[in-house]
Structure 1
Amino acid sequence: MEYEFHFVVDGIEVDDDKAVAIVHDTFDGVLTRHRGRHFLDVSESGVNAIDAAHRIVVRLRKSLPALRLLRTDPDLVGVSDIAERVDRSRQNVQQWVSGERRQDKLPFPDPEGIVGRSPVWRWGDVNAWLAQFGEGDDVHPPTREEALTIDFLLPKWQRTLDDGLPLVHFAPAESGDGRDEERETVQRLLEGTLTLPGALEWFAAFPVPRTERQRLTVVCAVLADRLSSVVSRIGHDEVWAVLAYQGAEDELRLQPVGTGQAPGAIPVSALGLGRDATVGDLLLVQTNGPDDSPVPPLTPVGLD
């Protein structure tokens, strides 16, 4: 899904022709200045708004190292603004706000505050509400909860990149099958490990030949998860990730995995595994080998 971000920024200016050209040509974005503040409008795809923000932070840092993302801008709108954006009358929008219309759906979002005597809302919240009816923008701004999470994480993400370390993105191999808690346990174990001194440096040196060294996807799985599900969690702009799971003795195991296009990987078919193979099948091959000879656990594996 495509998400739209409106950041308050520092470190680049609208008078910097080179920076403006990069924003426009590389990100199809817009850099503006209002009352001494600079604002950056960019969009990025992701499985959710946090994932998309994670991606755009890495991409922006690579192209514009001087840029600092201070926070998201709430993009506040009143009744007239909403009416104009969705091509409806003010009366129509006011009926949504008061609950006179569309009572069978989720209630209209709470206002973010009051300007003068009129309430204002975050456009992201209004847009999410409109999505129930197939209306609103095709590009989705973050909701209030998503924006608060992004604002909380921005300083941490940027400090990590300042230190030359990768941003780690966690993704579950599957979901909704009753094993979500087990996958979350794997993620919590890894998150605890990453707080240890030197842990991120170790991840940065992990034997995965990524072209983008500033972002690393870690897919958290259980033994029953299909390898095809694992590879589906690798981002649209990535060919490599790390598979994390607990082995037979509950030990935490890490395995470099890539798509079928990943250079230098051993195809799973070469290990005697088919398209329906599971993480547990891969563990057995690692332990016993296709010919009863163990496969080194950090051997990069390519998944079809």
Structure 2
Amino acid sequence: MRIGLLLDQLEGPDALDRLQERIARAADDGFSSAWMSNIFGLDALTALAVAGRQVPGIELGTAVVPTYPRHPAVLAQQALTVNTALRGRLALGIGLSHQIVIENMYGYSFDKPARHMREYLSVLVPLVRGEQVAFEGETLKAQLGLTTPGAGEMPVLIAALAPRMLRLAGEMADGTVLWMTGPRTVAQHVAPAVTEAARAAGRPAPRIVCALPVCVTDDVEAARTRAGEVFEIYGQLPSYRAMLDREGAAGPADVAIVGDEGEVSAQIESLAEAGVTDFVAAEYSPDGRTREFLKTLL
């Protein structure tokens, strides 16, 4: 199981400089990957192209870029450009986002999200592989090819939690990117579904990228309390709430990886046993203890 880091959301005029410093430190520390979410701050793809171009030797991923506001051909063109800037080190993670964002904020319909993702991948995946596309679905159309450099083996991963989305992650994409999903849910729900879908479609074994909060500490109760505060919103969004319920977790604090070095090591090992191929640590400790421990796992 590869170990990566989830990069902080950064603000301010020097955000890109600080992002480059964080990517460089992750690469220097030996982490295999660094991942950036795309919410309401920096555009993740643009930021990774700018901040990551001068930092070799580390995969850079988006976790994740929302699909609805971007035509798949436009996203394919942008992602290929970024992959060229990064010399082939981009992992493109995409996702539906959430109904409250897509409908209430952007004004798009969130009707039949699995249909939307299937049609989206039908355009996006061939284009990033350098193929021509002639597709007409219920919600998307595309008749074009791209001459953008960078086509080839850039992995396309989707945020997939529900059964239909997990099938798409195996059938049409290169795997899934998870957040707030614990080891029991990965082992019993995610890994079997996405792996079987890939096998049935004759595709390679999928990547299962699992990001979770991590804090190495001797004060477990305080660390879980802080996790509950920092990550509270994720216990309220329906897709994450469903995964927490599957895990038997009251909230995000219950799936955070917390404890001393031995306890955290055992919890991370349980993810590998569950089928996770890439563990992505969202550090939230107030000191450097978590980072120093994670480096020992590399």
The TM-score, its normalising length taken from structure 2, stands at 0.26
Q: Which has the larger radius of gyration?
A: 1
Whose helix proportion is higher, 1 or 2? Answer: 2
Q: Which has the higher contact order (CA 8 A, sep 6+)?
A: 2
